[in-house]
Amino acid sequence: MKKTVIELFAGVGGFRVGLNNITSIDENGRAIENGPFTFVWANQWEPSTKSQHAFDCYNIRFPHAVDNSNIDISKVDKKSIPDHTLLCGGFPCQDYSVAHSLSSSHGIEGKKGVLWWQINDILTAKKPAFVLLENVDRLVKSPARQRGRDFGIMLRCLSEQGYAMEWRIINAAEYGHPQRRRRIYIFAYHKSTKYYKTMKKSSPAEIISKTGVFAKEFPVEEVNAKAIKEFDFINGYKDLVEVSDKFHATFENAGYMIGDKVYTVKTKAIETAPITLGEIAESNGVDAHYFLSESQRKKYEYLRGSKKIPRVDKNGHEYVYAEGSMSPYDELSLPARTMLTSEGTTNRSTHIIKDPKEGKLRILTPVECERINQFPDNWTNSGMPEKRRYFMMGNALVCGIIKKIGNQINKIIEKED
């Protein structure tokens, strides 16, 4: 089986950086790929802006090795996408609700603009052997009014397409990485694969805590089989619309689905000491504009302090908005907090550190933000404004997590015909 890959919603290429163990760029700005995977297609389109900075960065780092697509994925003929073994991508957590169409055929329609349906359409058209997806951890609890429905819809879709899958919510810092970023990772494999037939022989407890892709790279304490919740929601609902209308379940941070059955259990990580901010911070001095002025220091002091603010909601009800206090700066002895797209702007979530050389307070540099996500230095130094470099890293994933998952996927594919 070929180790061919497509990358959806590619951003600046985090999946590719991780899967192919990219640690540097050459003198022409091209990525130096050290891994076994051949990327045959990638799509990146940002609908909210005329400038396509993420795509431009991707195209500079990978100029010839892939057919880079910069159009709305919904406008792509799914059958025209090259054949591939692995589909990967990070997609937004959106409202996945569905309804019957108005046509006499009573087809099922997903909410327009929701990118999960584009993934589902590609699975229908191309049936890749393996799928690797990343999303925010709240996916398993969305929406608030009907817990678990959105994830349930995804599971139903994958089941109908002939896939088994496992998932794990991973805090990157618990496994040695420099950011306390919690994300859900989903690995699906088609029933036509040898891997499917092998895993079908294992118990859910074994897969979740010992033999599965995530267990091998992100060890957890042994799972008590009696603690695993099992439910059959495939046969319990006649179609996706009924899942959308009636589904409600509690999914834990780990789980497994095969055939008609879903198994889920709360796991506890066997932790590894993380890389700290002190280890990734620039130690030889940075440009003056990263340091806080006195007025900026006071502003951050207020933003990070505790506060109680009277407010009025849209219905006219008065309430008090409260925030607890944060440390006035981020300790260099700890990993980074979760980096957001607002990083680098004057807001509560922006990291503030004491510069290792000067001892004065400053924000992080774009290179430090790249290191927090384990990209090569200056990966986003591709012509985009500095503000957008911060945004890209807030929107990216921790490449080291993908590298570890890729190690297992590589071994799995090597055993296929």
Q: How many residues does the chain have?
A: 417
As a whole number of angstroms, the distance between CA 104 and CA 161 comes to 24
CA distances in angstroms from 111 to 47, 54, 77, 104, 173, listed in the order given = 17, 26, 19, 19, 35
* CA gyration radius, the chain: 22
The count of other CB atoms within 10 Å of the CB of residue 279 is 13
Tokens found for residue 241: 């619309």
In terms of Cβ atoms closer than 10 Å to its own Cβ (0-12, 13-18, 19+), residue 317 is exposed
Mapping DSSP to helix (H, G, I), strand (E, B) and coil, where does residue 319 land? strand
340 contacts 180 by C-beta, under 8 angstroms: no
- 295: Cβ contacts below 8 Å, ≥ 6 apart: none
| Amino acid (1-letter code) at residue 294 | E
Which of 88, 93, 157, 369 is the catalytic position? 93
- Buried b or exposed e, range 35-57, using 16+ CB within 10 angstroms: bebebbbbbbbbeeeeeebbbbb
Mapping DSSP to helix (H, G, I), strand (E, B) and coil, where does residue 219 land? coil
Tokens found for residue 297: 């220091």
Helices then strands (H, E): number in the chain?
Answer: 13, 16
As a whole number of angstroms, the distance between CA 304 and CA 114 comes to 35
As a whole number of angstroms, the distance between CA 354 and CA 359 comes to 5
In Å, how far from its chain's centre is CA 152?
18
* Active-site residue, 57 included: no
Tokens found for residue 229: 């919740």
In terms of Cβ atoms closer than 10 Å to its own Cβ (0-12, 13-18, 19+), residue 293 is exposed
Active site residues: 93
